Amino acid sequence: MSFDPYLARRDFPILERTNRGQPLVYLDTAASAQKPRAVIDAISDVYERHYANIHRGVYELSEEATRIHDGARETVRAFLGAADVREIVFTRNATESINLVAATFGRANVGPGDEIVISGLEHHANIVPWQMLCQEKEARLRVVPVTDAGEVDLEAFEKLLGDRTRLVAISHVSNALGTIVPIREVTAAAHERGIPVLLDGAQAVPRFAVDVGELGCDFYVFSGHKLYGPSGMGVLYGRAELLEAMPPYQTGGDMIESVSFEKTTFQPPPQRFEAGTPDIAGAAGLAAAIDYLNGLGLDAIEQHELELTRYGTELLQQIPELRMIGTAADKTGVLSFVVEGVHPHDLGTILDTQGVAIRAGHHCAQPLMERFDVPATARASLGLYNVREDLDKLAAAIRHAIELFR
Ligand code: PLP
Question: In this structure, are 273 and 328 located in the same domain?
Answer: no
Distance 303 CA to ligand 1 centre (A): 23
Question: In this structure, are 198 and 338 located in the same domain?
Answer: no
Question: In this structure, are 289 and 306 located in the same domain?
Answer: no
Helix/strand/coil (H, E, C) string of 14-47?
HHHCEECCEECEECECCCCCCCCHHHHHHHHHHH
Over residues 12-28, the pLDDT tens digits come to 999 999 999 999 999 99
Question: In this structure, are 121 and 201 located in the same domain?
Answer: yes
* 329 in a structural domain: yes
What does the alpha-carbon distance between residue 63 and residue 125 come to, in Å, rounded to a whole number?
35
Question: In this structure, are 167 and 304 located in the same domain?
Answer: no
The reported pLDDT for the residue numbered 30 is 98
**217 flagged as catalytic:** no
Question: In this structure, are 251 and 359 located in the same domain?
Answer: no
The reported pLDDT for the residue numbered 57 is 82
Indicate if the pLDDT at residue 171 is higher than 80: yes
Over residues 349-359, the pLDDT tens digits come to 999 999 999 99
The reported pLDDT for the residue numbered 50 is 97
* 35 in a structural domain: no
Distance 92 CA to ligand 1 centre (A): 11
The reported pLDDT for the residue numbered 66 is 96
Distance 120 CA to ligand 1 centre (A): 15
* 241 in a structural domain: yes
Indicate if the pLDDT at residue 56 is higher than 90: no
Best residue among 123, 180, 368 to mutate for probing ligand 1's pocket (most ligand atoms within 8 Å of CB) is 123
Number of structural domains in the chain: 2
The reported pLDDT for the residue numbered 105 is 98
Residue where a domain stops, chosen among 294, 326, 346: 294
Question: In this structure, are 227 and 335 located in the same domain?
Answer: no
The reported pLDDT for the residue numbered 1 is 56
Residue where a domain stops, chosen among 243, 278, 294: 294
Give residue ranges with CB within 6 A of ligand 1: 93-95, 123, 125-126, 171, 175, 200, 202-203, 223, 364
* 398 in a structural domain: yes
CATH of residue 180's domain is 3.40.640.10
Over residues 96-152, the pLDDT tens digits come to 999 999 999 999 999 999 999 999 999 999 999 999 999 999 999 999 999 999 999
Question: In this structure, are 271 and 302 located in the same domain?
Answer: no
Best residue among 364, 368, 379, 382 to mutate for probing ligand 1's pocket (most ligand atoms within 8 Å of CB) is 364
The reported pLDDT for the residue numbered 268 is 97
The reported pLDDT for the residue numbered 406 is 87
Question: In this structure, are 171 and 274 located in the same domain?
Answer: yes
Residue where a domain stops, chosen among 249, 278, 294: 294
For 202-319, strand residue ranges (E) read: 219-223, 234-238, 256-259, 264-266
Question: In this structure, are 154 and 11 located in the same domain?
Answer: no
Cis peptide before 206 (omega within 30 of 0): no
Q: Which atom of ligand 1 sits closest to the CA of residue 223?
A: 15
Worst-scoring range by mean pLDDT, 55-64, 137-146, 342-351? 55-64
Instruction: Point out the catalytic residue in the list 364, 367, 399, 405.
Output: 364
Chain mean pLDDT for the chain? 97
The CA R_g of the chain, rounded to the nearest whole Å, is 22
Q: Kindly state the average pLDDT of the residues 165-169.
A: 98
CATH of residue 11's domain is 3.90.1150.10
Indicate if the pLDDT at residue 70 is higher than 70: yes
Q: How confident is the model at residue 2 (pLDDT cuts 50, 70, 90)?
A: confident
Question: In this structure, are 26 and 87 located in the same domain?
Answer: no
Distance 202 CA to ligand 1 centre (A): 6
* 64 in a structural domain: yes
Question: In this structure, are 311 and 289 located in the same domain?
Answer: no
* 312 in a structural domain: yes
Range of the domain at 221: 40-294
∠ CA 362-368-371, rounded to 5°: 120
* 334 in a structural domain: yes
Q: Kindly state the average pLDDT of the residues 331-353.
A: 97
